[in-house]
Amino acid sequence: MNRAASGDQAGTSWLDRLEEMLYSDRLNPVFSRELRRMVKSRTFAITFQLVLLLCWLSYLALVLNTSTGSWYMEQGLTFCSYLFVILALSSCLVIPVVLFALAAEERQESTLEMVVTAGITPEQILSGLLSIGMLQALLYASAILPFIAISYVMQGVDLLALLLTFGLTLFGSLASSVMGMTLGACVRGPTTRAILGGLNVLGSFILFILTASCAQFMLYQFDDLPSIMAGGVCVLAFLAPILAILLGLAINHLRMTDPMIKPYRVLLDENGDVKKFIPRYQNSGYQSALTEEEVIREITNR
């Protein structure tokens, strides 16, 4: 393949120009890295094909189930609700598992150390992973979109309801992505990976059920717009702080050092041996100077 750095004829072929556009300079490095990996990843390709297959199957079921005549109103809505279940399945169940693996890999394979020394912040890692998750959700959604269009043509589905349900599913995907990423960032070894991985699958499943049933409710009960709005606001108010806390937790877990810890200064005697340890940035150093034993006791406690 012709990569960005292959020198000579770079920038001449349209493929190169496309790639240059796709992998622009302003891109988050983690995002561009994951985008390149995603393109080659088998998980993504298989999930994408599965989504398409499921859509086709439900379309087939719809056509076969329909005797002549009036299949419009009712069937269109049923088909549409199936499609959103498929979308929720791929974006609330598959994506968090993928993001969990990516975040966990970073520490387990000790690539995180190199990433951190290269000056990448935990925030950049998380936003990179999150955007790759959202991109995947959008790609799955785009696979479903033609079928949604068919269901819309059949009528019985409101355009605003469709848009809101889309938004809802994407939000469900975002929430489960944040959860998967955070749990992945907390992984330290095989044991924590197994426990947190199990937790992640469980959590994603719950979020999938929640998202899918909310989507059904939205599609079928769309007449009651005010109560849907009120419900949405409540859910947002409830989930937003949780997501913020999870993100904070993930950031902390991706840090190599604690910025609050300040090393001691060393007070040496005439022979160059350590006489006392003095806490940093403390002017009255002499009063609070510690012995080695006291330092060890203190750092064992913190």
Partner 1 sequence: MNDSDSTVDQHLDLNTSEPEGEQAAVATATAPERKPVLEIRNLHRFFGKLKAVNNVSFTAYPGQVMGFIGPNGAGKTTTMRIIATLDLPTAGDVFVCGHSVVDDPEKVRSKLGFMPDSFGKYSNMDVVEYLDFFARAYGFQGQERKDAIERVLIFTELRKLADKPINSLSKGMSQRLGLGRTLIHDPQVLILDEPAAGLDPRARVELRELIHLLATELDKTVLISSHILTELGEICDSAAIIEAGKILIHGSIEDLKRHRPRKKDQETGLQALAVSVLSRSNDLRLWLLEQPYVSSVAPAAHRIVFEFSGDEGEKASLLKKMIGQGFEVTEFAGKSETLEDAFMSITEGIVQ
Q: In a 10 Å sphere around its CB, with 0-12 CB exposed, 13-18 middle and 19+ buried, how is residue 9 labelled? A: exposed
Nearer to partner 1, 110 or 142 (CB): 110
Half-sphere exposure of 234 (CA within 13 A, CB side): 6
Query: What is the contact mask toward partner 1 in residues 199 to 238, using x (rule: CB under 8 A)?
Result: ----------------------------------------
Tell how far CA 216 is from the center of its chain: 24
Q: Does residue number 257 form part of the binding site for partner 1 (CB under 8 A)?
A: yes
Q: Does residue number 275 form part of the binding site for partner 1 (CB under 8 A)?
A: yes
Q: In a 10 Å sphere around its CB, with 0-12 CB exposed, 13-18 middle and 19+ buried, how is residue 59 labelled? A: middle
Cβ neighbors of 82 (< 8 A, separation 6 or more) are: 58
> Which of 57, 274, 288, 291 forms a contact with partner 1 (CB under 8 A)?
274
Which residue reads 């299949």 in tokens? 71
Tell how far CA 163 is from the center of its chain: 22
Interface stretch with partner 1, choices 180-188, 196-204, 209-217, 251-259 (CB under 8 A): 251-259
Q: Does residue number 283 form part of the binding site for partner 1 (CB under 8 A)?
A: yes
> Which of 167, 268, 291, 294 forms a contact with partner 1 (CB under 8 A)?
268
- CA distances 30 to 23, 101, 118, 148, Å, are 11, 15, 12, 32
Binding residues for partner 1 restricted to 77-96, rule: CB under 8 A: none
Nearer to partner 1, 135 or 295 (CB): 295
**Encoded tokens for 151:** 């269901």
- Structural contact between residues 176 and 96, judged by C-beta atoms closer than 8 angstroms: yes
> Which of 131, 199, 205, 265 forms a contact with partner 1 (CB under 8 A)?
265
Nearer to partner 1, 153 or 274 (CB): 274
> Which of 114, 149, 195, 236 forms a contact with partner 1 (CB under 8 A)?
114
**Encoded tokens for 262:** 């300040």
Site residues, partner 1 (CB under 8 A): 1, 3-7, 10, 23, 25, 27, 29, 32-33, 36-37, 40-41, 105, 108-111, 113-120, 256-258, 261-270, 272-275, 277, 280, 283, 285-286, 295-296, 299-300
